Chains A and B, each alone.
Chain A
């Protein structure tokens, strides 16, 4: 069912099904994401995009199907296990830690790679010192890289929305993931902020080699950014391919234009 490639895909979603009682929010969705690839998940409201997202990130357990990440079955893992496996995410309604500074928020990202142990912190053993040093270094790196240096010591919630989204991206990247899930990264941003975010994402993928899977309503942004688009409609996948190709697909056009 997947496109035959020489390498195994990074993420492989096979025959995913999610039921809420009698409602099938997602029915038989299958797709792959290759390493370093940018994939957009689009579709009208209620198409099952967010549900798919929540299943991949471990917030929901699917009622059927299988999710494989780097050859490992991650179906039904909890969100923190998924993060430690190498998939981090951002939220549609930004969820920065309101009691922490921007810098501390980004440092939190490295909980995916570094242990958080009370015993180690109490004894101040080397493991703990090294974990803190590595967290600090990687947070510094992404804060510099994403242009947040001037805001690092500010409480995260005082930033404007555009910068809060960037800070969330930095936090997700600080976990050194192979795949980042972005849940409507452009929602609520003005055109300038959108353009800036999109060029930032492009740079990030180029630099870190990390793949992106994004849910987004802003079609021009998605079409201009991603390598491949997957279109969902009523919980089913109706098209998949490069943006230019999908934009001309008759099924997709009828879905969006209601023709």
Chain B
């Protein structure tokens, strides 16, 4: 490779890196001042690009369109904080993070509904003719992007080091309670942080859009890469995210250049996992002082426990019975949708334990579903294994994978599981698409129906009962876990991790085991899915599925196993209802509407559950009320 092409690779990496750095800066700004991992950061960036494109196509000059787009994103960030995050006063960090997921799909759905999902072109700020410097060709727009990044960098360095507001943000990040005693209002700072994050996203997206195109699909990938950049560089300094963004883009450019562009993303997310394993504080981050681990997290201790009374057993039984009635009441349509709802229930039951009880937001359950799906698919089709054995092997593999991942992730304090599980999902999706063994994008067709011994589950109705049996098994298994010393230990860890450890609880091992349970459940669900459809392909296990599972969890109530059934039914029924209501409208805007509905539902439900104002709004709250605390121990009195 000559000097020129090497330099060209580095330079094209540099401009991508500048964009990732923009996203990563927004991430770390929000994370440092509020502790929230803002999933909507990538979509805010996408929104900036889309707005610029739409305004430019409407004939608005760029020098107006770009600032307007950036300010609109600033407004979105500020409004979201003021009217969603702030009212949710009693929300746990998990719930706040889920709200940002809600914003993310709300933006995505809104953009698709309004402007479609086709790429829009944006004219460059100052022409398209490349400049030639030292034999490298440079687009003027790339110079704009890098220049803007440098300007932002200087501005944020000045802001954090020289202004009172910057000082207040840093103080509040270090010690929110102490800072509030000094007269610093953490809510005002959160507003500033979210507004600035929106501004950074909007500006970055607006300047970047002429280089590629503005389109809706880039949001998720940008968000994940921005987070990866923040992890690689370290979030504790302003320079960390920038260095991380550049490092990530270099890695991406060289992977694309030397290995294969289709494996690019897998390599990047793999790098994030390796980084979390080896140097969780990031390249430039400072390691926490030794005593820091002893500090208690300020949120998440506020959750009141939903008591595990005998009623939960009854409710769970009621949930199973209710679902059992579906084929009788709704006929064939009910059976088909019911099977999907039951398969989702199995996944959500696992989430109740790891996310509800464990407080760890798992977004990559699709990865374990894929392990189950492809184990069943490959082993039955290629090697003629009996379905039950293939399913069991898939569950075993998922358990081992979850234990291994848990060992890495749960050592870290904070909310790393959400993003890293998503990264694992992206790696699995890439692998399934690119690997010949898994059949590529076409997948593995011709999977036989499920059978045990000579008994073949051939008809839809029979499969419905099989899925119901599995869902009931998962539900009651999870219930016995929740009521055992495992559930008690999970609640204890959430109240005070240091005290739980002092009681002898191996926190990493405990969470890993529970994560493994949720992985086994997801793997079971994946196996069932492919036996029902007869084909295994990556499509049904992507990020959309994760968002549906999280929505079902939120609808059902985080700590209610019976809620898993209710939530799954709602999530399966909602799109059907939307399609029905939207009538003959084209499918694309229906998909957009679905995202808008799910996003709005997530945000509204969490506000209702945690604001303390509308206590009787929402299914989970009324369900919770119906549970009365029954003391575990009555002999004392």
Contacts and interface: CB of A to CB of B under 8 A. Distances in A.
Contact of A99 (B494, B514, B632, B637): B494
Contacts of A91: 498-499, 502
Interface string A74-110: 0000111101100011010001111111011101110
B295 to A, nearest CB: 11
Interface stretch (B118-126, B170-178, B300-308, B571-579): B300-308
Contacts of A153: 631-634, 636-637
30 contacts: A54-B291, A54-B294, A80-B501, A80-B504, A80-B505, A81-B506, A83-B502, A83-B503, A89-B502, A91-B502, A97-B491, A98-B301, A99-B491, A99-B494, A99-B495, A105-B492, A107-B488, A108-B489, A108-B500, A111-B503, A112-B504, A116-B485, A116-B505, A122-B481, A140-B635, A150-B637, A151-B636, A153-B633, A153-B637, A175-B504
Given A152-B633, A153-B636, A175-B504, A124 B480 contact: yes
Interface residues of B, number: 45
B352 to A, nearest CB: 14
Contact of A116 (B293, B499, B510): B510
B480 A83 contact: no
B289 interface: yes
Which of A83, A84, A89, A124 has the most chain B CB atoms closer than 10 A to its own CB? A83
Interface of A: 20, 54, 57, 59-61, 78-81, 83-84, 88-89, 91, 95-101, 103-105, 107-109, 111-114, 116-119, 121-122, 124, 128, 131-132, 135, 140, 143, 149-153, 171-172, 175
Contacts of A114: 485
Q: Is chain A's binding surface mostly helix, strand, loop or mixed?
A: helix
Contacts of A151: 636
B516 interface: yes
Nearest to B499: A95
B626 interface: no
Nearest to A86: B504
B236 interface: no
Contact of B636 (A112, A131, A132, A150): A150
Interface in B472-525: 477, 480-481, 484-486, 488-489, 491-492, 494-496, 498-507, 510, 513-514, 516-517
Q: Is chain B's binding surface mostly helix, strand, loop or mixed?
A: helix
B368 to A, nearest CB: 16
Contacts of B513: 117-119
A97 B504 contact: no
Contacts of B631: 101, 103, 152-153
A169 B296 CA distance: 20
Nearest to B357: A99
A171 B503 CA distance: 8
A81 B499 CA distance: 13
Nearest to A94: B499
B64 to A, nearest CB: 53
Given A57-B502, A99-B494, A100-B495, A80 B507 contact: yes
B504 A60 contact: no
Interface string B594-637: 00000000000000000000000000000000000001111111
B496 A95 contact: yes
A60 B305 CA distance: 31
Contacts of A128: 484-485
Nearest to A121: B484
B503 A101 contact: no
Which of A89, A104, A111, A128 has the most chain B CB atoms closer than 10 A to its own CB? A111
